[in-house]
Amino acid sequence: MLNRQPAAAELPANILSEPVIIPRDSHPISRKQIPEHALKVLYRLHNSGYDAYLVGGCVRDMLLDIEPKDFDVATNASPEQVRGLFRNCRLVGRRFRLAHVVFGREVIEVATFRGHHEVSADEQTDKVSRQDKEGMLTRDNVYGSIEEDAQRRDFTINALYYNIADFSIYDFANGMQDIEAGVIRMIGDAETRYREDPVRMLRAVRFATKLNMRLDKSVSGPVKELASLLQNIPAARLFEESLKLFAAGKGVANFEMLSEYNLFQQLFPQLKSYLKAPDEAPYQMIRQTFADTDLRIRNDQRITPAYLFAALLWWPLQARMEQLKLEGGLSDMDAMNLAAADVLGKQVQSIAVPKRFTIPAREIWQMQQRMERAKGKRVQTLLTHPRFRAAYDFLLLRAKTATPSERPHLEKQADYWTRQQRGVEIPSAADQARSDEAPAKRRGRRGGRRRRKPQQSE
């Protein structure tokens, strides 16, 4: 294990040569706020002779009286040593190896203190860092001391460590002062840190809106110029980041701030042209989508990414449909199906939306045409469709944000389906959400039991 520490002259400007140690009686964090399983991990590490700290967002949030979603642990034990202490531990990660201690559905993430990138030729090859030509870290298995680990963290407010040994907080970058001042500062040079991991630009925005803080000029300054680096991030990782941004109750604020810094355009390239006209229907629909999602979260209602992506990509879908109908004379439904494949195919190159969400999104789109044409018995069939509630909400959204020429027709249609629901049992939002989370059933012969043809008598 590495225990190197750079000379004081090499320290980033906002890293302290010695941490400020805040004793238990000078901060508000109590063990009563820490889940039982996190305490179990901390104490077993400590009782086994290792350092054990809560670190990062959980410490920051508890100081701000916000309930943390995750409790992450930092230690000087290697991942293999952590696994030796916990039978319920698995090692994950290629870029930086982590130990996950699993308690049923709860996972406590344990990270070994990270060290600096510079390594000598005689050090083990599995503890080296690698960067691509843009400066992004592609491998980072370099271990070090707690001081080095603090310098490797992204923002000062995340370089706070709660020590289970004496319940004190170690502040390595004046993070407590920045929390009190409501400002987000980067540890080290912002441009260099963004190039190491462009997702830090998204994190800066998310923390600013979540914590009601402002970005320091040194943090916000390079973002527009470097926004395109997000194109180098794996699409699967950006799907997880998009949920943190848009499905956690701060969708509108994140949308507006990301758009300002040219980051939203990297996540949704097909929406670039629509962001230039805030007064027009497409922009209004995008913003209203986030507003409705935020409201549902505040009201403790279920949401599904399927609806979110269906709403955001509606206008690119319409544009592609019109193009296909002009080129090939296709019917509305055929044009929609082809356009849906094209639009979703382009989107998953940026954000890898799983099929368990793209399939329901397509059904929500298809239901818009079916709801417009339904008559007689088909009305009752649609009312009991598993996707009806989402499709109905989507119709209301379209009516609310439509152009003046389309609004009367959509409002009339929405009113019709509102009246049709009286006395009919509609699948609940919870049922719909469970349906979205379940794996899509395979269609056709593949994966199913083959039917035998009935034998014919001779």
- In the 8-state DSSP scheme, what is residue 186? B
The beta strands (E) that lie in 198-240 are given as 214-215
Which one is catalytic: 70, 334, 342, 393? 70
Q: Higher model confidence: residue 129 or residue 218?
A: 218
User: Are 163 and 26 members of one domain?
Assistant: yes
Q: Is residue 316 a part of any domain in this protein?
A: yes
Question: Is 166 assigned a catalytic role?
Answer: no
Q: Is residue 1 a part of any domain in this protein?
A: no
Banded model confidence at residue 98, pLDDT cuts 50, 70, 90:
very high
CATH of the domain at 184: 3.30.460.10
* Residue 197 in this model has a pLDDT that exceeds 90: yes
Note the pLDDT tens digit of each residue in 282-335: 999 999 999 999 999 999 999 999 999 999 999 999 999 999 999 887 889 999
User: Are 68 and 167 members of one domain?
Assistant: yes
User: Are 28 and 158 members of one domain?
Assistant: yes
Q: Is residue 173 a part of any domain in this protein?
A: yes
Q: Are strands 183-184 and 214-215 parallel, antiparallel or unpaired?
A: parallel
Sequence length of the chain is 458
User: Are 154 and 28 members of one domain?
Assistant: yes
Specify the pLDDT at position 17. Answer: 78
Specify the pLDDT at position 304. Answer: 95
Q: Which of 188, 210, 244 corresponds to the end of one domain?
A: 188
Please give the tally of structural domains in the chain: 2
Give the list of residues 6+ apart from residue 341 with CB closer than 8 angstroms, or none: none
Q: Which of 188, 208, 231 corresponds to the end of one domain?
A: 188
User: Are 173 and 300 members of one domain?
Assistant: no
- Amino acid present at 320: R
Both tokens of 67, joined, read: 């309930």
Q: How far is it, in rounded angstroms, from Cα 246 to Cα 306?
A: 12
Residue in this structure with the two tokens 């194109």, named with its chain if needed: 231
Identify the domain containing residue 170 by its residue range: 8-188
Specify the pLDDT at position 430. Answer: 55
Question: Is 189 assigned a catalytic role?
Answer: no
User: Are 414 and 304 members of one domain?
Assistant: yes
Mean predicted confidence (pLDDT) in 112-122: 65
Is 91 within 8 Å of 83 (Cβ atoms)? yes
Report percent pLDDT > 90 for the chain. 77
Mean predicted confidence (pLDDT) in 81-99: 91
User: Are 121 and 23 members of one domain?
Assistant: yes
CATH of the domain at 316: 1.10.3090.10
Is 152 within 8 Å of 140 (Cβ atoms)? no
User: Are 150 and 25 members of one domain?
Assistant: yes
Q: Which of 161, 188, 215 corresponds to the end of one domain?
A: 188
User: Are 316 and 431 members of one domain?
Assistant: yes
Which one is catalytic: 61, 140, 149, 154? 154
Contacts 24+ apart (CB under 8 A), 305-308: 305/243, 305/247, 305/353, 305/357, 305/436, 306/357, 306/358, 306/359, 306/360, 306/361, 306/364, 306/390, 306/436, 307/360, 307/361, 307/364, 307/390, 307/393, 307/394, 308/246, 308/247
Note the pLDDT tens digit of each residue in 35-50: 999 999 999 999 999 9
Q: Is residue 3 a part of any domain in this protein?
A: no
Q: How far is it, in rounded angstroms, from Cα 419 to Cα 412?
A: 11
Question: Is 342 assigned a catalytic role?
Answer: no
Q: Is residue 237 a part of any domain in this protein?
A: no
Which one is catalytic: 61, 72, 140, 216? 72
Q: How far is it, in rounded angstroms, from Cα 76 to Cα 14?
A: 23
Is 304 within 8 Å of 436 (Cβ atoms)? yes
Specify the pLDDT at position 142. Answer: 80
